[in-house]
Amino acid sequence: MDKLKKVLSGQDGQDDDVNILQAANEASRLGWGTRVKGFIACFAIGVVCSVLGVCMLWLPRIGLVLFVVFYTLGNFASLTSTMFLMGPVKQLKKMCEKTRALASAIMLTCFALTLCAAFWWKNNGLALLFCILQFLAFAWYGLSYIPFARDAVIKMFSVCLK
């Protein structure tokens, strides 16, 4: 358990030079119990928002817009929940790693484009398309944390499409 705490909190034996971002991360350290509580609360808010969004989908006229808003907020809350476990700086660094950079960029872009399509462009079909892309990018991003999961998914689809 202590090893897991060290890895998730960024204390896994790395002796990097202290810079401004690391100093800010050090100054905002939370206790492990507080981090877990923050993660659970933020993740639960994300799940509730996503489920609420799906329930709102069936309302006439405004349902799709409410779905888009709640679903996007739910995904964003779920994504930020992991910042409690790793810390914001380490989370952002991991999001920008070579294996996750494209999925992170697509996911964050789809967050913004989904809301733009719903409110600014008022195009429900485009908003729904961006929600689907948001889901796929979020899933691909999440799979990057599980060893060999992406390879397994690619292999499964290649077998299914033969």
pLDDT of residue 32: 87
Contact call for residues 111 and 72 (beta carbons, < 8 A): yes
pLDDT of residue 162: 80
Contact call for residues 156 and 111 (beta carbons, < 8 A): no
pLDDT of residue 143: 95
pLDDT of residue 50: 95
Tell me the CA distances in angstroms from 94 to 57, 67, 91, 124, one per residue in order. Answer: 33, 29, 5, 33
What's phi and psi for 146, nearest 5 deg? -105, 120
What's phi and psi for 31, nearest 5 deg? -70, 160
pLDDT of the chain along its 162 residues, tens only? 666 566 566 665 554 445 766 665 565 678 889 999 999 999 999 999 999 999 998 898 899 999 999 999 999 999 999 999 888 889 999 999 999 999 999 999 999 999 999 999 999 999 999 999 999 999 999 999 999 999 999 999 999 998
